[in-house]
Amino acid sequence: MKVLAVNGSARKDGNTAVLIHRVLEELQKEGIETELIQLAGQSIEPCRACWACGGQKNCVHKKDSFRDIFEKMKEADGILLGSPVYSANISAKMQALLERAAVVCDMNPGLLTHKAGAAVTAARRGGALHAADAMNHFFLNHEMIVPGSSYWNMAYGQLPGDVEKDTEGLSNMANLGKNMAYLLKRLNGCEG
Ligand SMILES: Cc1cc2nc3c(=O)[nH]c(=O)nc-3n(C[C@H](O)[C@H](O)[C@H](O)COP(=O)(O)O)c2cc1C
């Protein structure tokens, strides 16, 4: 089993990455393979609304990183999305990724059906729940199954590493990883 994580921050290895790693550590303890893609430094253009992806099972536009990432999303058993809060929402790169992934899934139904999906977000102060919801809406609109945790999946910090001080937030991430592993094992017919 494999979980693909995508960090939508413009800052590589920042707070969102810390949260993602905390979730992935718990998945790894349960024997689940993980991979992290960080969008920082990569180009992801928004959807062009050309609707040419019908029957293609991927976006037809090849000049940026989208197609490779979406292939990995299709192959994975679970997808972990992480975004910092930007303007009380997800980052523009995460939005571009989800716009295009959503249209490809709409035009080619079933590509992500019954995979597990979880979302985490890092914020300085406001908008974290909205950002988490934006990512969860993607999962819920494409027949994915979303595990919960002991609180909403957010942690607070501004400068890189600040979220390490948010012990409640990190503990919630660890619990999310445990619950995602539990869900993945059952979705894939393994014993707990
Ligand atoms: C363009 C931009 C917009 C931001 N907007 C918000 C915001 O609306 N609310 C908030 O709490 N933090 C906001 N922040 C702060 C980041 O969410 C915060 O620093 C976060 O920890 C960054 O995570 P990262 O290290 O993974 O990039 C913003 C940061 C940037 C760069």
- For residue 13, give both structure tokens: 């290895």
pLDDT higher than threshold 90 for residue 192: no
72: nearest Cα among 103, 34, 45, 108: 34
Ligand 1 centroid distance, CA of 79 (Å): 22
Q: Mean pLDDT throughout 83-106?
A: 98
Q: Binning pLDDT at 50, 70 and 90, where does residue 190 land?
A: confident
Residues 54-74 pLDDT 10s? 999 999 999 999 999 999 999
What is the pLDDT at residue 103?
Answer: 98
**What average pLDDT does the segment 111-129 reach?**
98
- Which pTM value belongs to this model? 0.98
Ligand 1 atom with least separation from CA of 16: 26
Residues 6+ apart with CB under 8 A from 66: 44, 45, 59, 96, 97, 100
| Tens-place pLDDT, residues 13-29 | 999 999 999 999 999 99
Contact present, 33 and 182 (Cβ < 8 Å): no
Output the CA 107–ligand 1 centroid distance in Å.
33
Residue spans per domain, the chain: 2-187
Whether residue 44 is predicted with pLDDT greater than 90 in this model: the reply is yes
- Residue among 17, 168, 12, 10 nearest 87 (CA): 10
Which residues does a 6 A CB cutoff place in the pocket of ligand 1? 9, 11, 14-16, 84-88, 122-127, 157-158, 160
Residue 18, Cα to own-chain centre: how many angstroms? 14
Domain 2-187, CATH? 3.40.50.360
Per-residue pLDDT band at 191 (split at 50, 70, 90): low
Confidence of residue 152 (pLDDT cuts 50, 70, 90): very high
155 beta partners = 122
Q: Which atom of ligand 1 is nearest to the CA of 11?
A: 27
pLDDT by residue (tens digit) across 159-183?
A: 999 999 999 999 999 999 999 999 9
**137-157 mean pLDDT:** 98
Average pLDDT score over residue span 71-97: 98
Any long-range contacts for 39-42 (C-beta under 8 Å, 24+ apart)? 39/6, 39/7, 39/8, 39/9, 39/10, 39/65, 39/91, 39/93, 39/94, 39/97, 40/7, 40/9, 40/10, 40/11, 40/12, 41/12, 42/93
